[in-house]
Amino acid sequence: MSHSQARALSLFDGAILRRAALDAVVKLDPRRLARNPVIFVTEVVAAVVTVIFVKDLVLGAGSPMFEGQIALWLWFTVLFANFAEAVAEGRGKAQADALRKTRSDTVAKRLLFPDGDDSLFEGVSSLDLELDDLVVCEPGDVIPADGEVVRGVASVNESAITGESAPVIRESGGDRSAVTGGTTVLSDRIVVRITAAPGSTFIDRMIALVEGASRQKTPNELALSILLSGLTLIFLITVVTLWGIAGYSGTVVSVTVLVALLVTLIPTTIGGLLSAIGIAGMDRLIRFNVVATSGRAVEAAGDVDTLLLDKTGTITFGNRMATEFVAVPGVGAAALAEAAWLASHADETPEGRSIVALAQGSGGAGPKSTADAVFVPFTAQTRLSGVDLPGRSIRKGAVDAVIRHLGTTLAETPAAFREAVDRIARTGGTPLAVSENGRLIGVIHLKDIVKPDIKERFAELRAMGIRTVMVTGDNPVTAAAIASEAGVDDFIAEATPQDKLAYIRSEQTHGRLIAMCGDGTNDAPALAQADVGVAMQSGTQAAREAGNMVDLDSNPTKLIEVVAIGKQLLMTRGSLTTFSIANDVAKYFAIIPALFVATWPELSRLNVMGLASPESAILSAVIFNALIIVALIPLALKGIAYRPVGAAAVLRRNLLVYGVGGLILPFVGIKAVDLVVAALHLA
């Protein structure tokens, strides 16, 4: 992740904070606040108390000092909530500005005759390009818009998007044909067919996403705001009816005090932080170099039940490696190792190199001279490679190919050879036969190497209730062996894209959510069908459009972290909601006795915190209510601590911290504020 450091602005960067403070005031506009019912209600009642304050100040009636302070803190409550949202948006905005620079109007070289000569083009503004236009990009050119390479191959600097400065290869056909507007061609010449209209390119979408401009409330966020609005309404009923009920008891409760009660009861804490939590979740993902096309996708990531992981590159290293030499009886181990070394020393494939490394490790290396060796390269016809030396002819290859080369049959081979081949195949490896001068001398065991700590990762996922499914083109025997070594829960062997799609659909009919990643065009249907489809930035345009996330680092292992980020987002929301509601208990004990103590002095028994006076009790509750929002901004932005353990354990912990903590903390907090208020003679 070192390459993305440049964009990892600190959470509380000075510039962001200054901008956020200004935005907090701008956001007071009731039309914007109406999106957030809890804070909107707070703003309305703050205005009401302000009017009362001004009226009492002018008329010299009531207690303007008290009313003024309540009004002030109510406005602070609204401002703090706005500030939280503004800080969360701040980093995104800074990032959007940087991205916007790359989008600046460039001159595109549009082909005059799409089917004809590539050298005849006209210069047009990139903003005037239309879908399916063909443009030419030469070294130094900025690619004008998203598109697909139709002719040629070029190295492209995509650091504007990915933060990764190493160039990538983009070529026509295959899975690396997609290019992104705003990236720069470094070498060679390509012809690109435009696939995105101006304004809807990848960069445009990214800007909109990081900026939060096109931010819609996600389904879960919406459901939660309905709960919060419902609670607000319930407390509104409670407070409004209290006026009548208190009237019966002979208490005339002032509007200011009722407002104070209302604001402390309605869930302002979570109401104020809700959108900040959502924005921060998206932001965490972006800093992780994954761009989600919607907040919905991030939430879905938290819900994922099954991860579909490609074997190669995710579970195993991309290449098979030699792990063992098995010599037939009568051939020394060192002799086999030496023959294998000779047959592979000129073989530049990763497998060949791994054979050389293994041979050197087992003492078979380093014959005197290889100057007169003639390397026999692999061909599709022979399916063999090897080396010819004076008096020696060594071949290695798939078992059937070597046997055919020797003009024999498997049944005629030595029993020990057959056993070794069987054993290797059974454990998921690939046996390579080695022959020298027309005689079988042994087997090389090539094996998929499972990434070192992947098994633990899968165990963590299992503890979180997430199944992992390995997808591979290998045969079932090989797949089963690797699956058991890597510790995945299930595998799909000899998988075709259709198999993937069918598997996803069948899981979904059982109500499970599936995440997968893919890069090829043939992955696109499955990516679109999956609930979370992470497309690799290096992949095809089709794949990138089918998925709902794009991984700029093109690292399929990241799927696991994406799930974690989704879960953390939901946990943060839930924990702060619980905290907010639990807070109300203490506020009641502060305000109710204060409210009615004049009528029923006996109710002072409920003043368990021993608050100084009714006014200071009410004021302290309101101040605490406002300050807690500020205090929780860092938590809302960073997300609560996340550990990959089972739901029951997570729940127990969060409940203890945020539920029980939420019950107790305000008793302490309100008392502390009350001490200060009383000491300063504020009320």
Q: Where is the binding site for ATP, in residues?
A: 347, 351, 378-385, 396
Buried b (16+ CB within 10 A) or exposed e, 532-541: bbbbbbbbbb
Minimum CB separation from other proteins for residue 30, in Å?
23
C-alpha–C-alpha distance, residues 337 and 358, integer Å? 8
Contact with other proteins (CB under 8 A): which of 8, 22, 112, 233? 233
CB of 641 to other proteins, least distance (A): 12
Amino acid (1-letter code) at residue 175: D
* Closest distance to other proteins from the beta carbon of 660 (Å): 10
- Does residue 456 touch other proteins according to CB under 8 A? no
If binding is defined by CB under 8 A, does position 255 make contact with other proteins? Answer: no
CA distance 279 to 637: 8
| Minimum CB–partner distance for residue 243 and other proteins (Å) | 7
Quick one: which of 179, 552, 582, 665 contacts other proteins (CB under 8 A)? 582
Binder among 446, 650, 665, 677 for other proteins (CB under 8 A): 650
Whole-number Å distance between alpha carbons of 303 and 522: 26
> 297 to 356, contacts with other proteins by CB under 8 A?
299, 302-303, 305
Stretch that binds other proteins, among 233-241, 315-323, 371-379, 398-406 (CB under 8 A): 233-241
Q: Among residue numbers 608 through 647, which ones bind other proteins (CB under 8 A)?
A: 642, 646-647
- Least Cα distance to 149 among 179, 115, 110, 116 occurs for 179
Residue 585 binds other proteins, judged by CB under 8 A = yes
- What the block records as the tokens of 399 is 């078992």
DSSP 3-state of 280: helix
Tokens coding 373: 């060796």
Selecting among 23, 56, 146, 310, the annotated active-site residue is 310
Selected binder of other proteins within 187, 238, 349, 506 (CB under 8 A): 238
In whole angstroms, the minimum distance from the beta carbon of 483 to other proteins comes to 19
Residue (4 or 607) nearer to other proteins, CB: 607
Q: For other proteins, give the closer residue by CB, 129 or 564.
A: 564
Is there binding between residue 573 and other proteins (CB under 8 A)? yes
Considering only residues 475 to 534 of the shown chain, the ones binding other proteins according to CB under 8 A are 508-512
> CA-CA distances (angstroms) from residue 603 to 259, 266, 592, 615?
21, 23, 8, 15
Q: Which stretch binds other proteins (CB under 8 A): 124-132, 324-332, 360-368, 579-587?
A: 579-587
Residues forming a β-bridge with 136: 109, 191
What is the C-alpha to C-alpha distance for residues 392 and 339, in angstroms, rounded to an integer? 10
Return the residue of 1, 213, 222, 374 that touches other proteins, per CB under 8 A: 222
**Site stretch for other proteins (CB under 8 A), options 19-27, 221-229, 348-356, 550-558:** 221-229
Stretch that binds other proteins, among 125-133, 155-163, 543-551, 565-573 (CB under 8 A): 565-573
Any contact of residue 398 with other proteins (CB under 8 A)?
no
Q: Which of 624, 6, 640, 565 is nearest to 263 (CA)?
A: 624
User: How many residues form the binding site for other proteins (CB under 8 A)?
Assistant: 78
Residue number with CB closer to other proteins (63 or 607) = 607
DSSP string, 457-475: HHHHHHHTT-EEEEE-SS-
Residue type, 348: E
571 binds other proteins (CB under 8 A): yes
Q: Which is nearer to other proteins, 273 or 444 (CB)?
A: 273
Q: Do 495 and 472 contact (CB within 8 A), yes or no?
A: yes
Q: Specify which residues 109 forms β-bridges with.
A: 123, 136
Angstrom distance (rounded) from CA 427 to CA 320: 14
Q: Give the list of residues 6+ apart from residue 219 with CB closer than 8 angstroms, or none.
A: 296, 299
Phi, psi at 438, each rounded to 5°: 75, 15
- The residue type of 406 is L
Q: Which is nearer to other proteins, 35 or 605 (CB)?
A: 605
Rounded Cα–Cα distance for residues 180 and 261 (Å):
54
310 catalytic, yes or no? yes
36: contact with other proteins by CB under 8 A: no
Nearer to other proteins, 443 or 466 (CB): 466
Distance CA 463, CA 466 (A): 7
- By annotation, the residues acting in catalysis are 310
